[in-house]
Homo-oligomer: A and B are copies of this chain.
């Protein structure tokens, strides 16, 4: 009996350890999960919130550097986890995909490789959520297959766009053929 009790204890310990490992590792798998519906960022009226911790949790698709005598900018685009893998397989963005474009003012210095420019401070964020279902036909912030939102650094949680055609679409016209997204500058979408 003593030997059997020992075996049972061992078995229970193994079970407990496996449960602990399993729940922990499933937590990781879930937080990195691919095509979950990111409409948890959207309320019943179609108002979009900015996702938390996107710099760490999201994939960085790529960066555009815009040179402007009035102040250079770097535009980082982050995407919800799994976006690059889905795009690589299907050539399109999955329904529910969240894109965050963070526009930075830059600093620069002459470093060992030359005149190096980097992202210094955030100016604005644009958020887009892929919508294949036409979820908010009455909202002026949803259309052309996406939900659209704009946040400025002086009030980072306040969505301030009122009409995506007026506030957002203008800048996206050159990218109309690629679902309004500037995919050609994003190495992660042409992944190697």
Known pairs A55-B192, A67-B117; list 4 more (Cβ under 8 Å): A22-B22, A62-B76, A64-B117, A66-B115
List the interface of chain A (C-beta within 8 A of B): 15, 18-19, 21-22, 24-26, 28-29, 32-33, 53, 55-56, 59-60, 62-68, 73-76, 84-85, 88, 102, 104, 108, 111-119, 122, 170-174, 182, 184-185, 187-188, 191-192
Contacts of A19 in B (CB 8 A): 18
Contact A85 B112 (CB under 8 A): no
A-B contact pairs, 29 of them (CB 8 A): A15-B18, A18-B19, A28-B28, A28-B29, A28-B32, A29-B29, A55-B84, A55-B187, A60-B60, A60-B62, A60-B188, A62-B76, A62-B118, A62-B119, A63-B74, A63-B118, A64-B117, A65-B65, A67-B67, A67-B115, A102-B187, A104-B187, A111-B174, A111-B182, A112-B173, A112-B174, A116-B185, A118-B185, A122-B192
Question: Are A191 and B28 within 8 A (Cβ)?
Answer: no
A65 touches B55 (CB 8 A): no
Please indicate the chain B residues that have their CB under 8 angstroms from the CB of A73 in the complex: 113-114
Q: Which residues of B contact A59 (CB under 8 A)?
A: 56, 60
Whether B56 contacts A171 by the Cβ 8 Å rule is: no
Q: Which of B18, B33, B67, B84 contacts A28 (CB 8 A)?
A: B33
Across the interface, do B119 and A55 meet the contact criterion of CB distance under 8 Å? no
Report yes or no: A170 in contact with B112, Cβ–Cβ below 8 A: yes
Closest beta carbon of chain B to A190's beta carbon, Å: 8
A18 to B188, CA, bound (A): 33
Residue numbers in B under 8 Å from A85 (CB-CB) = 56
Q: Specify which of B15, B67, B76, B182 is in contact with A114 (CB 8 Å cutoff).
A: B67
Contact B32 A185 (CB under 8 A): no
Which one of B22, B32, B56, B185 lies within 8 Å of A88 (CB-CB)? Answer: B56
